[in-house]
């Protein structure tokens, strides 16, 4: 195992939120989908996701806002949440 997969002080869900933030910053659609799906599997809530997306938008401005919206849509699709 390496730092990305090892069970360390930083829990897996936190690492996935970090990865999602990077995916949003780099504007990688497939990465966003992958990390959102993993967060759903790990039990992330919509509220947790929105908090992370707000931070990504705060740090990345307009482009991050657009990609955060894609992440939220993916979460809703994967959880069959709001339409």
DSSP 27-38: T-HHHHHHHHHH
- The CA radius of gyration of the chain, in Å to the nearest whole number, is 12
- Residue 49, pLDDT > 80, answer yes
Inter-residue contact 74 to 37 (CB < 8 Å): yes
Distance CA 10, CA 74 (A): 24
Model pLDDT, residue 11: 87
Model pLDDT, residue 81: 79
Is residue 49 left, alpha or beta, with left meaning phi > 0 and alpha meaning psi from -120 to 50? alpha
pTM: 0.86
Mean per-residue pLDDT, 49-63: 95
């Amino acid at each position: 195992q390496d730092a990305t997969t090892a069970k360390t002080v930083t829990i897996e869900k936190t690492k996935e939120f970090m990865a999602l933030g990077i995916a949003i910053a780099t504007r990688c659609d497939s990465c966003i989908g992958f990390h959102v799906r993993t967060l759903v599997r790990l039990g992330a809530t919509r509220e947790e996701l929105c908090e992370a997306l707000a931070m990504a938008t705060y740090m990345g401005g307009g482009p991050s806002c657009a990609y955060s919206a894609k992440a939220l849509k993916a979460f809703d699709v994967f959880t069959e949440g709001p339409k």
